[in-house]
Amino acid sequence: MSTDWQLARTLPAGLPCWVEVACRDEARTQDFYTRLFGWEYETRRDPASPTGRYSIGSSEGVPASGLYQAGARSAPGWTLHLAVPHTDSAAEWVEHLGGQVTLGPIAIPERGSILHAIDACGAPVVFWEAPPDWQFAGGVPNTFSGADLNTHDGVAADHFYTKLFNYSNRQVGDGESVDYSEYSIEHTAVLYRYTMGPEYRRDTPPHWLVYFEIDPARGADAAAGEALMLGGSVVIEPYDTPFGRTAILADPDGAVFAVIDHSRVLEDVGRAEVDDPYDD
């Protein structure tokens, strides 16, 4: 993630600016990520969370992710936040482009305003009007590296996000057997969109898969083994991609995420075929 963007008072619209995990057991989940990524947690008041509590995990003193207890009707999982200049206008555009607002906008003490929504292809996403002193660790080991939107309708996803944020959209798969697109801001890739293929069950819901950077000295294979020993699970064993060696994991509550070592790059262009991480 660009240092210039992190230092700017106003974030570019559409820039990933936060990730958070909903869990069943806050203490157990905090312990898992503390031991896997070295995050240190601080709990704050949050009127948008079911319990009124919200914990922020920091890496080397910089906020890296959020954590809260999921509501009774909600499943554990990771959620991506995208920057918007105004959540009120974002809410109007979400509805206009075929999405659905599910919560907000809500003002969060010391954290600006957030808007929860379902995008036009059915994936949950949060839009955040961040405060001027926003900080979000990214691009270094144990922090956010990127996210894939996995959808059954790539055309609907592309229309929604490129109209909402004016992303540049470039196909990096072959567009047929592998439909994998790159969303960019100012010629810098910020997100990816994948049309789920036969490796996914047809009833797999659209979702964002969040990636965390792994130190090459440690590697994705070691991180996967550590997650297993800490009570999580290895959903997909480490495999090589054009972007780096990747493993898809789940925490003890079943929230799915990925780790990636960008030093291990597969030269062949395209997306490696994987199993469905949401197939129980």
Residue-wise pLDDT for 10-19, tens only, equals: 689 999 999 9
Beta bridge pairs of residue 171: 181
Mean of pLDDT values over 169-195: 92
Please indicate, yes or no, whether residues 191 and 121 belong to a single structural domain of this protein: no
Residue 55 sits in the same domain as residue 96: yes
CA dihedral 93→98→99→101, nearest 10 degrees, is: 60
Distance CA 29, CA 252 (A): 7
Q: Are strands 188-195 and 144-151 parallel, antiparallel or unpaired?
A: parallel
% of the chain residues with pLDDT over 90: 74
With 0.75 as the threshold, say if the pTM is over it.
yes
Helix (H, G, I), strand (E, B) or coil at 199: coil
Mean pLDDT score across all residues of the chain:
90
62: domain CATH number is 3.10.180.10
**122 and 152, same domain (yes or no):** no
| Measured distance CA(205)–CA(192) in Å, rounded | 17
CA distance 227 to 224: 5
The per-residue pLDDT for range 105-128, each reduced to its tens digit, is 999 877 889 999 999 999 999 999
The answer on pLDDT for 53 being more than 70 is yes
Q: Of 78, 106, 129, which residue sits at a domain end?
A: 129
Q: 12 in a domain, yes or no?
A: yes
Sign of CA dihedral 54, 255, 226, 62: negative
Q: Range of 100's domain?
A: 3-129
Tens of pLDDT, residues 128-181:
999 988 899 999 999 999 999 999 999 999 999 999 999 999 998 887 788 999
Q: Choose one of 65, 97, 129: the last residue of a domain.
A: 129
Same-domain pairing of 21 and 49: yes
**Which pair of tokens denotes residue 105?**
């906008």
pLDDT greater at residue 214 or residue 7: 214
Is residue 187's pLDDT more than 60?
yes
CA dist., res. 46 & res. 273, Å (int): 40
Does the pLDDT value for residue 74 go beyond 60? yes
Torsion 139-141-142-145 (CA) sign: positive
- Beta strands at 124-129 and 77-83: parallel, antiparallel or unpaired: parallel
**Judging by DSSP bridges, how do beta strands 100-108 and 256-261 pair with one another?**
unpaired
The Cα–Cα gap between 149 and 273 comes to 16
CB 56 within 8 A of CB 34: no
